[in-house]
Amino acid sequence: MGFISYLKTDRGKINGFSAILAGFSAMFCFMGYELIRSSSESIFLSYFSALDKVYALALTPFFLIFLIYLYGFSLSKIGSKKTMIIYFFLVISVELLFYSNLHYKKPMISFFLLIFKEGYVVVISELYWSYINSILKSEEAKIINGPVAGLGALGSLMGGYFVSKLAKALSTEKMILYSAFTLIPAVFILIRAYNISGEPRANKDEEGGKKGHIHLSILLENRTVLFIAFIVFLAQIVSTLSDINFTYHLQNSISDKDIRTAYLGSFWNRVNIISFSMQFLITPLVLKRFKIKYVLIFIPLLHLFTSLYSFIFPSLFSAGLVFMIFKSMDYSIYKASKEILYIPFSYDTKYRVKQIVDSFTYRFSKGFISILMSVLNIVSFSYFKIIIPFIMLVSLIWSYIASRIETKE
């Protein structure tokens, strides 16, 4: 069944349409994220070196576990819809607070802004997928996930374009303000989606957080979810090392703040063009033709080959290529395929444990490798020459773990 044909069915008119609305909401949300991502990175580099970024990344998991616990507590007390609304308006308020204080030009404001940027977006991203995974069946997700994620990528694409064109004219700091504004239509569109599909509910044995606000025991009970956690951990080691390697080459190549911001905007714009194109043109075909397991095995092997190229030809271009391919795949085929694994599982798996697996593990991995690099910085060990070989090693392990996942296909 094709995309249009599905939307004409009874479930398509309600569940499919609601998922598409969630995609449009994500479009505004990730448009805003592009504004705060490039600007916060550039502001940070105005006060700190690329090496100092690891300290901010190391602290992010502590901020994130606090967010996730509050999220789980709120789920238990008021349900997913009201929790979503509160979270959105909390993020808007904090972004406005940061913007109003940037003119003080205090380095620690840029430091905490980077931590906030790293943390809030992963929770909000998984909030979308928890909802979508709860209203779609697996076969429906193979049709819908690509276009839905594509809408999110379209938002990122537009956000990256705005940054590349407007950062110098409007100032880097103004991007934080506009990021907050984009979340307003995002939350109201998502409310509309909830109203059409109905709010997903937990079974009686899980309602009200009976098994815990986070319900971590699922990780021991469900081998598939545990393996997903391992994959997320390894994938983010690759992501973090690629990011730090790219930031190192970027700082050495471009010193002007506004030019650097514009470059980052253009870079993320290219990432999002690739991701957007893949979501609509490639992802639906791949999910229909290949088992999810095979897709998850192939992706790290691709990263292995791009890293090999960067190892042979080190430069800003090759460092950017490694990071660009990772992010393009991460936002498209990897995410769309991985999410399907959650659909058969319970409410707590999709709403509570998913935040630990896909949000906390995502940033914990980044924090873990950052702490390691912080120690290496302290002892004055130059690790940049071994980053790419280490990415290659982790990619091999990642591919092996993916081969151990049992999928219900």
What is the rounded CA–CA span in Å between residue 130 and residue 349?
9
For residue 172, the 8-state DSSP code is: T
| Cβ neighbourhood burial of 230 (10 Å; 0-12, 13-18, 19+) | middle
Higher pLDDT, 360 or 207: 360
What is the pLDDT, as a whole number, of residue 185? Answer: 97
User: What are the Cα distances from residue 339, in Å, to 61, 136, 163, 405?
Assistant: 22, 11, 29, 14
Confidence check: pLDDT of 380 > 70? no
Q: Quote the distance between the C-alpha of residue 401 and its chain's center.
A: 21
133 within 8 A of 111, measured Cβ to Cβ: no
Phi, psi for residue 327 in degrees, rounded to 5? -65, -35
Query: Domain spanning 3-403 has what CATH number?
Result: 1.20.1250.20
Which element (helix H / strand E) includes 294? helix 292-312
Question: Sign (positive/negative) of CA torsion 161, 162, 163, 168?
Answer: positive
pLDDT (mean) for 332-355: 87
Tokens of 321: 């290529």
Q: What is the Cβ-side half-sphere exposure of residue 152, based on CA atoms within 13 angstroms?
A: 27
What is the rounded CA–CA span in Å between residue 53 and residue 44?
8
Picking from 47, 26, 46, the residue whose alpha carbon sits closest to that of residue 150 is 26
Confidence check: pLDDT of 335 > 70? yes
Note the pTM of the prediction, 2 decimals.
0.83
In the chain, where the domains are located: 3-403
Task: For residue range 252-266, list pLDDT tens digits in order.
Answer: 777 777 788 778 878
Picking from 325, 285, 287, the residue whose alpha carbon sits closest to that of residue 309 is 325
Confidence check: pLDDT of 187 > 90? yes
Residue 25's pLDDT band (boundaries 50, 70, 90)?
very high
Q: What is the CA radius of gyration of the chain?
A: 20
Confidence check: pLDDT of 409 > 70? no
- 3-state secondary structure labels for all residues of 125-155: HHHHHHHHHHHCCHHHHHHHHHHHHHHHHHH
Confidence check: pLDDT of 133 > 70? yes
